[in-house]
Chain A
Amino acid sequence: MNISIKEKILSTLINAKGEPVSGQKLADELHISRTMIWKHLKSIEEDGYVIEAIKKKGYILQSIPDLVTPEQILPKLNTKQLGRNIDYYTSCTSTQIIAADKARQGASHGTVIISEEQTAGKGRLERSWDSTANKGIWMSVIIRPNISPEFAAQFTLVSAVAINQAIQEVTNLTPQIKWPNDILINGKKVTGILTELQADMDIVHSIIIGIGVNVNQELSAFDESIQNIATSLKMENGEEVDRSLLVAKILYYLEKYGDLYVEKGFEPIKILWESHNCTIGKRIRATMLRETLEGVALGITKDGVLELRLDSGEIRGIYSADIHLLGRS
C-alpha cells in the first residue's frame, strides 16, 4: 500500500478538525478510486485511529492514538533541522543500533530513529533497558556538529539539560539531573541517555544520542528489580503525557542547546546543568571498573567532569562511573 497516499488522507482528516471529509472529494484529489480510499481508511484504523463514517457527508476523525509517528510529531515540531527526517518503527531491536548504521551510511544531521517498542534496548555497559511498547520515548538522534572529538562528550550534558527542560515544560514536574545525564524525579530515574561517537582523530562524523524516557508506564510495567529506582512521568504527575509533543519539545531544546554549545562553548550549558542538578553537594559513590570511590561531589569542571572530594581530602576528577547518591554531605 502506498504510504504517501495514506499519509495524505490522514493529514486531510486531521486538518479537517472534526468536520466530515467527503470520500469522493478525497478520491478526486488523490486520483484514486473510492475503493482505494476505503482500503487506506481501514489501514489507518488499524493503526489505532477511530474514524466515523457519516452517510452522504463523509469521514470524521474521532480520536488519534498516542503514537510517536512522524504525522503526529511534525505538526508540533519547531526546529530547523532536528527531527526533519524521522525514521519510525512500531518495533525494533534498538534505535541506537539502527541509528549507528544509518549514520555510517551518511544519514543527515538531525535524523531521528524512533520506535514504539524496543526488543533489545541497551543502557551503559550493555545493561538491558526496559522499553515497553507505546508507553515511552525510545529514540536516537543523529547530529553532526562541526567540532573536534575532544569536545563531543559535553553533548551528553547538553542532552540532559535539553530533556530536563522539555519534561518541565510539558508536564510541570521538576526533574533533576544526576551526573552526568540521568534524569530523576523524586529520586527515581525517568530518563536515560546513552551517546555514541563516530569520529576520526580530528573530526566528529556523528554523535548519536540515544534517549529513553519513561512516559506513560504504570509501576507494574517495570521489572520488579527496578521498581524502587525507576518511575514514569505519568506515575509522578498522575496523568497521561502526549508523547509526540514531548518528542517535539526534546528535539527543540536539543537543537537550541546544541547550537548554543557549539557557538558559545560549555560555560552556558554548565550553568543550566548546575541549576537543575541533584548531585553537587551530595555524598556519592562512584563505581568504576578498577575502583569504587566515595566522597562529596564538589561540582563539575569547565569540561563537565565530576569533581569528587574523598574522605582523605584528595580531590579526584571522575570521567566515567555509575553514580549512587548517598545523601547530603
Chain B
Amino acid sequence: MKIQEIREIIKLVDQSSLDEFLYESEGTKIKLKKNEKGFVNSTSETFESSSIIEQPRQVEVKAPVAQEAPKQQVVEEATTESVVDSSLHTIISPMVGTFYQSSSPDTAAYVEVGTKVSADSIVCIVEAMKLFNEIEAEIDGQVVEILVKDGQLVEYGQPLFLVKGN
C-alpha cells in the first residue's frame, strides 16, 4: 500500500465520525485511532460558527446510524495490499494559523522526516496573530511525513505530520 493511499484513508477517517478504524487483509493491517476527548462547550459566541471538522463529531452524538456510510466508503478505498506493521498517528492543527517548522527563520527545524519523537517532543509551531502554539507529537515514534510547508497557512483540524508509533 502506498503512503498516498494511507494518507487518503487517514483523511477520510479524520473527516468521518469514526474514532477508530481497523482494516485487515492478507497480512496487511491498518489500525487508526483518533485521540478525541470530546469538545469543550465554550460560552464564546463565536463557537457557533464551528468549522466543518466539528460537525461530524456532533453527528456522532446525535445520530449514531450515520456512522455506517463513511465506514463503507473507507473500506472500499483500502483494498490494495501492502504491509504496514504499526499504526500511523496524524498530528493535526488545533487552530487556524501559520505553520512553522522551526522557532525562527535562522534555526533548524524541530523535526525532519525520520526524526524520532517522544510524546512531549515539539514538532512545530502554529501562529495566529502573535499567539504561538508549540505542537507536541503526543506519541512516541518516528516522523514519516510532513504534510505541510514551512510558512503555510493551515486550517483547524488539518493534518500536519504522520508519525509511526513505536
Contact = CB atoms under 8 A, between A and B. Distances in A.
B39 A319 contact: no
Contact of B131 (A152, A200, A263, A289): A152
Interface in B112-146: 127-134
A230 interface: no
Contacts of A154: 46, 129
Interface of A: 124-127, 146-157, 180-181, 193-203, 207, 261-267, 288-290, 302-305, 319-320
Nearest to B153: A319
Given A181-B129, A194-B130, A266-B45, 4 more contacts: A150-B94, A196-B131, A289-B151, A290-B152
B47 A201 contact: no
B131 A319 contact: no
B100 interface: yes
B43 A262 contact: yes
A153 B40 contact: no
Nearest to B49: A302
Nearest to B45: A265
Interface stretch (B66-74, B78-86, B103-111): B103-111
Given A126-B104, A126-B107, A267-B45, A149 B150 contact: no
30 contacts: A125-B103, A126-B106, A127-B104, A146-B43, A147-B43, A150-B95, A151-B42, A151-B47, A153-B96, A153-B129, A154-B129, A156-B129, A156-B131, A181-B130, A196-B133, A197-B131, A201-B36, A202-B39, A202-B40, A202-B94, A265-B44, A266-B44, A267-B45, A290-B151, A302-B46, A305-B129, A319-B97, A319-B98, A319-B128, A320-B129
Contacts of B42: 146-148, 151, 262
Contacts of B94: 149-150, 199-202
A232 B151 CA distance: 33
Most buried by A among B46, B103, B104: B46
A199 B51 CA distance: 18
B60 to A, nearest CB: 14
Contacts of A153: 95-97, 128-129, 131
B38 interface: yes
Given A196-B131, A197-B133, A151 B35 contact: no
B156 interface: yes
B92 A151 contact: no
A201 B151 contact: no
B37 interface: yes
Interface string B148-166: 0111110010000000000
Contacts of B128: 153, 319-320
Interface of B: 35-40, 42-47, 51, 92, 94-98, 100, 103-107, 127-134, 149-153, 156
B129 A319 contact: yes
B37 A147 contact: no
Q: Which DSSP category, helix, strand, loop or mixed, fits chain B's interface?
A: loop
Of B38, B106, B130, B151, which is in contact with the most chain A CB atoms at under 10 Å from its CB? B130
B102 to A, nearest CB: 9
A31 to B, nearest CB: 47
| Leading 9 A-B pairs by shortest Cβ distance | A265-B45, A289-B151, A126-B104, A153-B128, A290-B151, A320-B98, A180-B129, A197-B133, A149-B94
B33 to A, nearest CB: 14
A155 B47 contact: no
B91 to A, nearest CB: 10
B97 A320 contact: yes
B96 A319 contact: yes
A201 B35 contact: yes
Nearest to A318: B129
B133 A149 contact: yes
B36 A202 contact: yes
Contacts of B92: 201
Contact of B127 (A181, A199, A305, A320): A320
B146 to A, nearest CB: 15
Contacts of B105: 125, 289
A320 B51 contact: no
Contacts of A290: 149-152
Contacts of B39: 148, 202
B104 to A, nearest CB: 4
Contacts of A193: 130
A153 B35 CA distance: 23
